C-alpha cells in the first residue's frame, strides 16, 4: 500500500515536474541540451549495439551519474572482466560521463540511462536484460529500481554514503526512501557509520554491509601507472622542493598564492605547480598577472623552453594525478569554494596534504586531518606558516607523508569485497 502510494506520487507529481525543469534548463544550459539530444535514439542504438554482443554471456549493468562516479566503478569492472566471461553495460546520466567514456575498452555497451518514467524503465530493462545491476554511489532512479525488482534482477548500491544530516532523512521524504532502499538486494557502504545511517531507514540488517570505498583501489592503481609517465624532465625539478596545488578555484588561489609568494622569498629551492580546476585562457592569464613582476611563471605546455621559472601553470586537463608524483607537499582545491576535491589523489604518493576548511563532503579529508597527514588551513598567514614548517623540516614532512600512504593502503580491498557479493548472483 505504501509502495503504491509513493509511486503514484512520484509518477504523477515528481516525474512530470523533473522533466519540465530539465526541458527549461536545456534552453539555457548546453550540457543539459546535449543530454536531452543524446537520449533521443537511446533505444534504437541499444538494440543495434546489443545485437553485436555474445548473448550467451550474462550481462552486468553498471550505472554512474557522471565521470567521477564512473572512476569508482572502474576497478570493479576491470577486475570483473579479468575474472569472468560476462558482458558489461555502462550507463550515465550526465553528458560529461557518457561523452568521455564512449571508448572505454572494458565495456561491451555504453549508453545514456533513459529519463525515469515507468514505461522507459520497463523498455530499457527488457532490451538489455541484465543479470545484475550495480548503481554507483547515489544516482537512484525509482522507476528503474522498481522495474529491476519486478524482473527479479539483483540490484546493488555500491560505494554508498549517508550523512546523518541528509535531506533524505527529513520526515516526509524518509518514508519514500525507506520504501526505495528496501527494493535493493544489497547496499554496500564505504564505512560502518554509513551503514548505520542506512539502517536508520528500518532496513534489514543483512541488506546493508560496510565494505569500503573503491576510490582507494582506483587511485592506487592509477598512481602506479602515473609514476611511469615522466611528464616533467628530471633537470627541471632536480634539487627542488615541489608544492603542487591541484584543482584550484579562484577562492583557493586567493589564499595559497600569497602564502607561496612569501615562502619563495625565504626558500629559493621551492617551486609551485598549479593546476586550475578549469584552465580556461582567462583563468590562466589571471594567474600569470597575479605573479607578474614578482615570480617568473611558465605554462606547462611551454616546458621545453623552461628557464628557471618557479611557478608552472598547468594549461591542460587529465594529468593532475601524475603531477602529484612530483610533489613534496600538496594542496587540494575546492576547499575554500564549496567542497574539497579528491584528496586521495595526493595522499597516495605519501606526502602531507593541505586543504581549506570546506571538507564536509570528504570523509577522507576529515580522516587525514584527524591522523595528522592532512592539514586544514584557513587563511594566508596560517598557510604560509604551515608551508614554511613543512618545507624546512624534512623529518616532519616525511612523517606526515608516511601517515598518508599508510592510510590509503589500509583502505584498499573494497573491490574484492564488492565482487564477492556480485559473484554470489552469477552462479
Count CA within 13 A, CB hemisphere, residue 316: 11
Give residue 67's pLDDT.
Answer: 83
Tell me the β-bridge partners of 374.
353
**153, 60 contact by CB (below 8 A):** no
Which of 106, 119, 118 is CA-nearest to residue 62?
A: 106
User: Do residues 248 and 275 lie in contact, with contact meaning Cβ atoms separated by under 8 Å?
Assistant: yes
Q: Which DSSP helix (H) or strand (E) runs through 202?
A: none
DSSP 55-97: TTS-EEEEEESSHHHHHHHHHHHHHHHHHS--EEEEEESSHHH
Residue pair 317/294 in contact by the 8 Å Cβ criterion: no
Helix and strand totals (H; E) in the chain:
20, 14
Is residue 54 classed exposed, middle or buried when 0-12, 13-18 and 19+ CB atoms within 10 A define those classes?
exposed
Task: Say if residues 259 and 384 touch (Cβ distance below 8 Å).
Answer: yes
User: Where in the chain are the domains?
Assistant: 1-221+413-424, 231-411
| Residue among 76, 148, 78 nearest 113 (CA) | 148
| Residue 345 known to be catalytic | no
Neighbours of 219 (CB within 10 A): 27
CB 279 within 8 A of CB 272: no
Assess contact for 107 and 78: CB atoms under 8 A: no
For 106, phi then psi, to 5°, come to -95, 5
CA 250 to chain centre: 21
Active-site residue, selected from the candidate residues 69, 309, 345, 364: 69
Distances in Å between the alpha carbon of 59 and those of 81, 151, 275, 416, 420? 11, 14, 39, 19, 17
When computed from its CA atoms, the radius of gyration of the chain, rounded to whole angstroms, is: 24
pLDDT for residue 171? 84
Q: CB of 306 within 8 A of CB of 322?
A: no
Would you state the pLDDT for residue 252?
A: 97
Record the pTM: 0.86
- In order along its 427 residues, the chain shows pLDDT tens digits of 778 888 898 899 988 898 898 888 888 888 888 888 888 888 888 888 888 888 889 999 999 988 888 999 999 999 999 999 999 999 998 888 888 888 899 999 999 999 999 999 999 999 999 999 999 988 889 999 999 999 999 999 999 999 888 889 988 899 999 999 999 999 999 999 999 999 999 999 999 999 999 999 999 999 988 877 788 988 999 899 999 999 999 999 999 999 999 999 989 999 999 999 999 999 999 999 999 989 999 999 999 999 999 999 999 888 888 999 999 999 999 999 999 999 999 999 999 999 999 999 898 999 999 999 999 999 999 999 999 999 999 999 999 999 999 999 999 999 999 999 999 998 7
Amino acid at each position: 500500500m505504501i509502495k503504491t502510494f509513493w509511486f503514484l506520487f512520484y509518477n504523477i507529481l515528481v516525474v512530470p515536474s523533473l522533466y519540465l525543469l530539465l526541458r527549461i534548463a536545456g534552453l539555457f544550459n548546453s550540457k543539459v541540451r546535449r543530454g536531452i539530444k543524446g537520449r533521443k535514439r537511446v533505444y534504437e542504438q541499444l538494440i543495434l549495439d546489443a545485437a553485436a554482443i555474445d548473448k550467451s554471456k550474462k550481462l552486468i549493468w553498471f550505472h554512474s551519474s557522471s565521470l567521477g562516479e564512473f572512476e569508482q566503478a572502474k576497478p570493479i569492472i576491470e577486475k570483473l572482466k579479468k575474472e569472468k566471461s560476462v558482458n558489461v553495460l555502462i550507463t550515465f546520466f550526465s553528458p560529461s560521463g557518457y561523452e568521455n567514456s564512449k571508448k572505454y575498452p572494458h565495456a561491451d555497451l555504453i549508453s545514456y540511462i533513459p529519463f525515469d518514467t515507468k514505461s522507459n524503465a520497463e523498455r530499457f530493462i527488457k532490451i538489455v536484460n541484465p543479470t545484475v545491476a550495480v548503481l554507483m554511489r547515489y544516482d537512484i532512479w525509482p522507476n528503474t529500481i522498481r522495474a529491476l525488482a519486478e524482473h527479479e534482477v539483483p540490484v546493488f548500491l555500491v560505494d554508498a554514503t549517508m550523512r546523518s544530516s541528509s535531506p533524505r532523512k527529513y520526515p516526509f521524504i524518509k518514508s519514500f526512501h525507506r520504501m526505495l532502499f528496501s527494493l535493493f538486494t544489497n547496499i554496500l557502504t564505504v564505512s560502518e557509520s554509513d551503514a548505520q545511517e542506512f539502517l536508520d531507514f528500518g532496513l534489514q540488517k543483512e541488506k546493508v554491509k560496510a565494505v569500503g570505498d573503491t576510490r582507494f583501489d582506483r587511485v592506487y592503481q592509477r598512481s602506479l601507472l602515473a609514476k611511469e609517465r615522466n611528464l616533467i624532465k628530471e633537470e627541471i625539478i632536480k634539487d627542488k622542493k615541489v608544492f603542487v596545488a591541484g584543482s584550484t578555484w579562484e577562492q583557493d588561489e586567493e589564499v595559497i598564492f600569497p602564502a607561496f609568494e612569501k615562502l619563495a622569498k625565504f626558500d629559493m629551492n621551492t617551486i609551485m605547480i598549479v593546476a586550475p580546476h578549469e584552465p580556461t585562457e582567462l583563468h590562466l592569464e589571471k594567474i600569470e598577472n597575479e605573479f607578474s613582476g614578482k615570480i617568473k611563471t611558465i605554462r606547462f605546455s611551454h616546458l621545453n623552453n623552461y628557464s628557471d621559472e618557479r611557478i608552472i601553470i598547468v594549461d591542460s586537463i587529465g594529468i593532475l594525478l601524475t603531477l602529484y608524483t612530483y610533489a613534496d607537499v600538496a594542496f587540494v582545491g575546492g576547499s575554500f569554494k564549496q567542497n574539497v576535491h579528491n584528496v586521495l589523489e595526493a595522499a597516495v604518493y605519501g606526502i602531507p596534504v593541505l586543504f581549506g576548511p570546506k571538507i564536509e563532503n570528504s570523509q577522507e579529508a576529515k580522516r587525514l586531518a584527524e591522523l595528522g597527514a592532512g592539514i586544514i588551513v584557513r587563511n594566508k598567514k596560517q598557510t604560509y606558516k604551515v608551508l614554511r614548517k613543512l618545507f624546512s623540516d624534512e623529518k616532519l614532512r616525511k612523517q606526515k607523508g608516511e601517515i598518508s600512504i599508510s592510510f590509503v593502503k589500509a583502505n584498499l580491498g573494497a573491490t574484492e569485497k564488492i565482487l564477492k557479493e556480485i559473484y554470489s548472483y552469477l552462479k
